[in-house]
Amino acid sequence: MKKIGVAILGLGVVGGGTYRILTEHREFYRKTQNVDIEVTSVLETSRSRAESLAVPPEKIAVNIAEVVCNPDVNIVVECIGGISAAKEYVLAALNAGKSVVTSNKELYAKFSHELERAAKRHNAGLFFEASCVGGVPIIRTLLDGLQGNKISSLMGIINGTTNYILTKMTNEGMSYEAALAEAKKLGYAEADPTSDVEGFDAAYKLSILASLAFHTKVPFTNVFREGITNLSKEDVEDGKQLGYTLKLLAIGKRTDAGIEVRVHPTFVRKDHPLASVADAFNAVFVEGDAVGEVMLYGRGAGSLPTGSAIVSDIIYAATHSDVKYSTFKNDAEAEKDVNFADDFMSAYYLRLSVSDESGVLAKIASVFGKNHISIVEMIQREKEGGKASIVLVTHETHELAIKNAVEKINSTEIATVESVLRVVS
């Protein structure tokens, strides 16, 4: 039987889950895959982490050189996170001809070109299923299952922390701050939650997924990004009244104007399948020309779900002798002839604070009219001090038209636009 040795770099949440799955399922993989996969080395500075997993002391390496020089290591699994050490270690492994499995979305989104170049040079495999949407096998689906399709769009909830926060704000009326505090208590949000709540995490993932879906490098810097930190309870409540649920969506589209990639809070109708994706769960819709719509749903984070994605990559690497790389020119930048849309179409939700007097509505309507923006529905609420709150939803229009209209309204004395949110119509 073929023997495969695995080294795990980092035994934190994800590395620890991977270690557990590999050791507990070793016999199962011998039977079902006809391959004996053994963890032959780990690189972990915390003795207590290694001890809690009962890693035999002789398997604990002291540095990366020891790992990559070990002839009993065929596959190196990177679960360190961040860039500097992770990049150095992954390159060292690839340069030594070891296949690499990584869960590191930031590393892959920013440096896939460098990693792939090293992998190709040494005929090593490079696998990254766990970098996007945790245990949900979206990458294998794009690389293999949907390869026969021209994909026109993908859309999804690909960050669990923000989905948990938005679920709490929607279902329990919590403020953003209270929901974030709860997400931290449960270990979803990190002490510094910036990467999740400002949409960086989702943007890294979207850059990877869109590159695979559209067969062209979609650099992270091309992803339009807006986080959830400025959302108010008022918007969540107003949206609910209009039949919408607020989600942080990642959207990638191939349009006539170019490739569109964006991450932002979005209202979806309550009966849309994404509206019921609650708590820390993730879901992704992909639309292919042959298959139509495909939706994947599951846990986008966590020790065993992310470990599941890593172990699937390990098994794939262990049982496939050929190595498959990107189907596009994997450079740092997008190819020169690829267009990225700088404007896009969406419906919009706007909340305005207005002076409650005659003629105000007509003036606002006139600004919308001049920008070819058509209103679908509107509600008005009395506020104190001669003010009123107007909430409206538009038909699909250009992002640039909304920006112009908002600027124009804010330059008047009669109204201030307090919120602008996109709506999936």
Based on CB atoms, which residue is closest to ligand HSE, 5 or 300? 300
DSSP 145: I
Least Å distance, CB 133 to ligand HSE, is: 8
Cα dihedral across residues 139, 140, 141, 144: positive or negative? positive
State which H helix or E strand residue 292 sits in: strand 292-299
Alpha-helical (H) ranges within 271-302 are none
Which residues 140-159 are close enough to bind ligand HSE by CB under 6 A?
159
Evaluate whether 7 touches 67 at the Cβ level (below 8 Å). yes
Based on CB atoms, which residue is closest to ligand HSE, 156 or 288? 156
Would you count residue 17 as binding ligand HSE (CB under 6 A)? no
Based on CB atoms, which residue is closest to ligand HSE, 14 or 242? 14
Both tokens of 114, joined, read 């460098």
The whole-angstrom separation of Cα 27 and Cα 41 is 19
DSSP 395: P
In 3D space, the residue among 57, 98, 339, 334 whose CA is nearest the CA of residue 217 turns out to be: 334
Would you count residue 196 as binding ligand HSE (CB under 6 A)? yes
Q: What is the total count of residues that contact ligand HSE (CB under 6 A)?
A: 7
Give me the count of residues in the chain: 425
Based on CB atoms, which residue is closest to ligand HSE, 159 or 312? 159
Backbone dihedral region for residue 314 (phi beyond 0: left; psi -120 to 50: alpha; all else: beta): alpha
Q: Which residue type is seen at 335?
A: E
Which of 44, 106, 201, 399 binds ligand HSE (CB under 6 A)? It is 201
Would you count residue 288 as binding ligand HSE (CB under 6 A)? no
Evaluate whether 299 touches 282 at the Cβ level (below 8 Å). yes
Least Å distance, CB 122 to ligand HSE, is: 28
Would you count residue 13 as binding ligand HSE (CB under 6 A)? no
**Residue 367 vs residues 227, 266, 274, 407: alpha-carbon distances, Å:** 28, 23, 33, 10
Least Å distance, CB 21 to ligand HSE, is: 17
Which residues have CB under 8 Å from 249's CB, separation 6+?
Answer: 155, 156, 157, 263, 264, 265, 266, 268, 274, 424
Based on CB atoms, which residue is closest to ligand HSE, 104 or 346? 104
Least Å distance, CB 128 to ligand HSE, is: 12
Would you count residue 300 as binding ligand HSE (CB under 6 A)? yes
Which of 160, 227, 252, 307 binds ligand HSE (CB under 6 A)? It is 160
Cα dihedral across residues 304, 309, 314, 319: positive or negative? positive
Which residues have CB under 8 Å from 14's CB, separation 6+?
Answer: 79, 103, 130, 303, 306, 307, 310
Least Å distance, CB 277 to ligand HSE, is: 12
Has 120 been annotated as catalytic? no
The whole-angstrom separation of Cα 368 and Cα 375 is 8
Would you count residue 301 as binding ligand HSE (CB under 6 A)? yes
Least Å distance, CB 53 to ligand HSE, is: 21
The active-site residue out of 87, 105, 168, 205 is: 205
Would you count residue 161 as binding ligand HSE (CB under 6 A)? yes
Least Å distance, CB 161 to ligand HSE, is: 3
Which residues 64-93 are close enough to bind ligand HSE by CB under 6 A?
none
Based on CB atoms, which residue is closest to ligand HSE, 5 or 160? 160
Which residues 359-388 are close enough to bind ligand HSE by CB under 6 A?
none
Based on CB atoms, which residue is closest to ligand HSE, 135 or 288? 135
Interface ranges with ligand HSE (CB under 6 A): 159-161, 196, 201, 300-301
Please list the active-site residues. 205
